[in-house]
Amino acid sequence: MLRSLDDLDRLSEMLLDRERSPAFHAGRRRLSLAPMRRLYAALGHPLDRIAAVHVAGSKGKGSVCLFLESLLRVQGVRTGLYLSPHVDSWLERIKVCGRSLSSVRFLDAMNQVAAVGQRLGLPPPSLFEWLTAAAFVVFERSKVEVAVVEVGIGGRLDATNVIRPEVCVLTAIEREHEAILGRTLCRIAQEKAGIIKPGVHVISGLRKSEQAARVVEDVARQCAAPLSEWGDEIRLKAKGRRFELTLARVPAASFREPEGGSHAARNAALALAALWQLGRRRTDLQIQWRAALLSRGIRQARLKGRAERIGARPVVYRDGAHTPRSIEGIIDWVRRRHPRSRLAVVLGLNRDKRIRECLEGLKGRIGLLVATNVPSSRSLAATELAARARGMGFETRAVDSPRQALRAARTWAGKGGCVLVTGSFWLVGLFKVSRDRLSARLVRRQKPE
């Protein structure tokens, strides 16, 4: 039984060690949703009685979920939100009406899932299955009207894929987790499109010209699932610091640029498109397409670990970008905000990322790259990352300790400069937000799933 979040920290390390073992990966769990389906059934199919929106993709899926949950909440809808990974605390992963659970409620749900599995003799769940099932239990207990659920990795075999949603959303798709999802973009798109269900409307952030879009179109056609695509039924136009969204046969919606710039605006647009389709399918929710409500929902979304300012003098931002396009996007945004400032980037990447492509997005746009380690067994060593960056012409330093890496970046940038910490949510989660200056204090080391 879990009695505290410290217990969960310790147990999670044991579970993650087990899940990384060759025996585990050779077993059926990696190849099948059957264990999660049995656990879900044992819990009474908790999300079957709740409207759900299911969101998958390589980047932006967490932001889409946060925007959509905020848009629903300002409409007076009782919401549940399931996210992964967390940035500062396990409690961030499960929210009801925009609020994280108390540790007591969170642990109670985790213990209930464990007790049900043990009583029925089910195999021990993976850490992510356990967390996912606990979230579904919380949503049912809390009588939420809509659950917004973020996929962990992939989609087809992800633990969240036991639900039947009202709307599916697919954000941008890039090469990632290739050892698990496949070595080609088409194979990865096939895995992510696995969340598409027969007859369920799909919102796609992919342009028709993209290779992955054709895969999504094929899966949607096979499932007879209506599909709204970016650049076709969904159009977004920048007008200064505002954006205008046009959906097919829907009044245009205008909103101010959110933190994170055009990438964040694109995610907000996908959330708005999902809101519209959800309102059409579930008229009982009484979704109102009113400009003031929509703008407030976008404005009030709190995106932790995404273009988040955590310190001043120099200005310090943290962003969990970990794909080439997302890293390029956050650099675009920081550069627009601070065009004349000395910019240092503290970067940590896992070995399974596309290292050279991630570095390409920084080339010629930053003054100093401080390579550091991610708190993960999959981390690329700071020295190796620095060597690769140096070979591409970067001014680079290798600092194993994230604390010391940030200190070096701040010293180089000076009081009038700017620092960005990026490359991994596990890296940015090491630093706490300070009111007016960066404390540079590390929190408990976290290990990724």
Average pLDDT over residues 48-67: 94
Domain at 204, CATH number: 3.40.1190.10
Q: Which residue has the higher pLDDT, 66 or 183?
A: 66
Q: Which helix (H) or strand (E) holds 360?
A: helix 355-360
The answer on pLDDT for 437 being more than 50 is no
Nearest-angstrom CA–CA distance, 268 and 271: 5
pLDDT at 353: 87
Q: List the CATH number of the domain containing 373.
A: 3.90.190.20
370 and 247: one domain? no
| Token pair listed for 270 | 């996908």
Residue 436 lies in a domain: no
Give the model confidence (pLDDT) of 379-399 as tens digits: 999 999 999 999 999 999 999
289 in the same domain as 215: yes
pLDDT digits (tens, 9 = 90+) for 130-188: 999 999 999 999 999 999 999 998 899 999 999 999 999 999 888 777 677 887 889 99
In angstroms, rounded to a whole number, what is the distance separating the alpha carbons of residues 151 and 129?
11
Beta strands of 85-179 (E only): which ranges? 94-96, 99-100, 146-150, 167-170
Round to the nearest angstrom and report the end-to-end CA distance of the chain.
21
Return the residue matching tokens 């969170």. Answer: 106
Residue count (the chain): 449
Mean pLDDT across 69-92: 94
Determine the Cα angle at 47 with ends 28 and 30, to 5°. Answer: 15
On whether residue 318 sits in a domain, the answer given is yes
Cβ contacts of 249 within 8 Å, gap of 6 or more: none
Phi and psi torsions of 433, nearest 5°: -80, 135
The predicted structure's pLDDT at residue 24:
56
Q: List, in sequence order, every residue forming a beta bridge with 347; answer none if it has no partner.
A: 371, 422
Between the alpha carbon of residue 3 and those of residues 10, 18, 29, 404, 439, the distances in Å are 12, 22, 28, 34, 30
More confident residue, 207 or 52: 52
pLDDT digits (tens, 9 = 90+) for 353-388: 889 999 998 998 999 999 999 988 789 999 999 999
* DSSP label of 165: -
Element (H, E) at 135: helix 127-141
- What's the mean pLDDT in 3-7? 85
Using 50, 70 and 90 to split pLDDT, how confident is the model at 16?
low
Q: In what helix (H) or strand (E) does residue 239 lie, and over which residues does it extend?
A: strand 234-239
Give the sheet arrangement for strand 242-247, strand by strand: 99-100, 94-96, 79-82, 146-150, 51-56, 167-170, 201-207, 227-230, 234-239, 242-247, 250-256
Query: Which range in 251-255, 260-264, 344-348 is most confidently predicted, on average pLDDT?
Result: 344-348
- Checking if the pLDDT of 210 tops 50, the result is yes
Count helices and strands (H / E) in the chain: 16, 17
How far is Cα 164 from Cα 85, in angstroms, rounded to an integer?
22
Mean predicted lDDT score pLDDT of the chain: 89
Statement: residue 303 has pLDDT above 70: yes
Owner of token pair 């690769």: 388
* 116 φ/ψ angles, rounded to the nearest 5 degrees: -65, -45
Domain limits at 21? Answer: 5-300
Please tell me whether residues 334 and 424 are part of one structural domain: yes
Other Cβ atoms less than 10 A from the Cβ of 309: the count is 14
Give residue 440's pLDDT band: very low, low, confident or very high (50, 70, 90): very low
Q: Where are the beta strands (DSSP E) in 122-192?
A: 146-150, 167-170
Which residue in the block uniquely carries the two structure tokens 């099948």? 32
**C-alpha to C-alpha distance for 390 and 356, rounded to whole angstroms:** 11
* pLDDT band with cut points at 50, 70 and 90 for residue 439: very low
Predicted local distance difference test score (pLDDT) of residue 18: 58
- Residue position matching structure tokens 């065009």: 339
Same domain? 38 vs 57: yes
Percent of the chain with pLDDT over 70: 92
Q: Does residue 53 register a pLDDT over 60?
A: yes
Same domain for 127 and 198, yes or no, is yes
Question: Does some domain include residue 408?
Answer: yes
pLDDT, average across residues 183-201:
94
On the question of pLDDT at 195 being above 90, the answer is yes
448 in any annotated domain:
no
Domain total in the chain = 2
Q: Is residue 246 located within the same domain as residue 329? A: no
Q: DSSP string covering 194-227, please?
A: GG--TT-EEEEEEETTSHHHHHHHHHHHHTT--E
Q: Which residue has the higher pLDDT, 146 or 430?
A: 146
Give yes or no: residues 25 and 158 share one domain: yes
List, in order, residues 6 or more apart from 344 with CB less than 8 Å away.
366, 367, 368, 369, 370, 409, 410, 412, 413, 417, 418, 419, 420
Residue 413 falls inside a structural domain: yes
* 435 found inside a domain: no
| This prediction's pTM | 0.87
